[in-house]
Amino acid sequence: MSELTDFSKLCVHTITTKPWSVEEAMDRYAAAEIGGITVWRQWLDGRDIEKTGERMRANGLEVVSLCRGGFFPASDQKGIDEAIADNRLAIHEAAALGAPMIVLVCGAVPGQPLTESRKQIADGIAAVLPLAEEHGIKLAIEPLHPMYADDRSAINTMASANAVCDELDHPLVGIAADVYHIWWDPDLEEQIQLTGAKNRLFAFHVCDWKTPTTDFLNDRGLMGEGCIDLKGIRAMVEATGFEGFNEVEVFSERWWARDQDEFLGKIKKAYLDFC
Ligand code: ZN
């Protein structure tokens, strides 16, 4: 296999190489013959979004998704309306960038019942669906690890993400499966199968869970540094017929402090060795 073939299904999130601007990231990923890029919205600040997407494609990169929309729940109507407006903006940004999908970190409000937040999430997605339809943008609900149920997401398992998908029952609403959030789930295999069978497994994110974890947000491991059965979960995902990217999403103060070119080399090696 050529190197191009080896890394054609590898995608890196711009936040993984946080010290790099979007221009540096796309140039370095392309030079490394990585196939895809997922763009975090803050990387587009002050940029001509359409031109940025064109430059990525001209570099040979596939724009895999835009991160992130969501954060629908709020304690008052003003907050709910603002969230919907921001998600509509994200859809316009994705369309301009040429990203086919937006990842949704769905949100939660500390102290508000999770049942209420889940209802606001389903209502919020329903409210932006017509615009997503107009632009053909997929909305991928990312279940987050339950340690984030207080303020980041009331959707914490594949099953609860599937429940929202069932309720909305729309071909543009699916799931982003991120190993960091779901690796512990005893129902994982069954839920991945179900998600695939319903044609809603939209994305697959990889990293690792370090022991001990020193920070629950910014201490993710590079693949192979932790305890997640990456090959086993990838096999479950691919058994459904999933042909999308392996998206490397590592928030890590430790790796961000290192030389990013060296880190990108380690990402490629870890992808081959551990995914
Ligand atoms: Zn993710």
pLDDT in tens, 76-94: 999 999 999 999 999 999 9
Task: Give me ligand 1 centre to Cα 134, in Å.
Answer: 25
Phi, psi of 239 (to 5 degrees): -65, -20
Write down the pLDDT at residue 5. Answer: 58
Q: 119 with 75: CB under 8 angstroms?
A: no
Mean pLDDT of 122-142: 98
| Per-residue pLDDT tens digits for 39-54 | 999 999 999 999 999 9
Q: How far is the CA of 104 from the centre of ligand 1 (A)?
A: 9
Cβ proximity of 128 and 171 under 8 Å:
no
> How far is the centre of ligand 1, averaged over its atoms, from the C-alpha of 67 (Å)?
9
Q: Is the pLDDT of residue 197 over 70?
A: yes
Mean pLDDT of all residues in 14-28: 98
Determine whether domain 3-274 maps to CATH 3.40.50.12280.
Answer: no
**Ligand 1 centroid from CA 102, angstroms:** 11
The share of the chain scoring above pLDDT 70, in percent, equals 98
How many Å lie between the centroid of ligand 1 and the Cα of residue 8?
Answer: 19
Å from CA of 212 to ligand 1 middle: 20
Crossing angle of helices 114-135 and 158-168, in 10° steps, is: 60
Contact 74, 83 (CB under 8 A): yes
Query: How many angstroms does the Cα of residue 103 sit away from the middle of ligand 1?
Result: 8
Q: pLDDT value at position 4?
A: 44
46 in the Ramachandran plot: left (φ > 0), alpha (ψ -120 to 50) or beta? left
Say which amino acid occupies 200.
R
CA 176 vs. chain centroid, Å, equals 6
Q: Taking 50 as the threshold, does the pLDDT of residue 96 lie above it?
A: yes
Let me know: does 245 contact 36? Beta carbons within 8 Å: yes
Compute the distance from residue 249 Cα to the ligand 1 centre, in Å: 6
User: Which candidate, 235, 240, 158, 230, places its Cα nearest to that of 191?
Assistant: 158
pLDDT of residue 122: 98
- Does the pLDDT of residue 265 top 70, yes or no? yes
- pLDDT above 90 covers a percentage of the chain that reads 98
Residue 176, strand partner residues:
203
* Cα 216 to middle of ligand 1, angstroms: 14
Question: What tokens does 260 get?
Answer: 């990013």
Buried b (16+ CB within 10 A) or exposed e, 26-55: bbbbbebbbbbbbbbbebbeebebeebbeb
Instruction: Report the Cα–Cα distance between both ends of the chain, in Å, rounded.
Output: 17
Q: How far is the CA of 133 from the centre of ligand 1 (A)?
A: 23
256 SS3 class: helix
Q: What is the mean pLDDT of residues 118-141?
A: 98
Task: Provide φ and ψ at 207, rounded to 5°.
Answer: -170, -150
pLDDT digits (tens, 9 = 90+) for 247-259: 999 999 999 999 9
Mean pLDDT of 111-116: 98
Query: In angstroms, rounded to a whole number, what is the distance separating the alpha carbons of residues 201 and 204?
Result: 8
Task: Look at residue 56 in the predicted model and tell me its pLDDT.
Answer: 98
Residues found in the chain: 275
Ligand 1 centroid to 35 CA: how many Å?
Answer: 18
What's the pLDDT band for 154 if we cut at 50, 70, 90?
very high
Q: What pLDDT is stored for residue 168 in this prediction?
A: 98
Cis peptide before 68 (omega within 30 of 0): yes
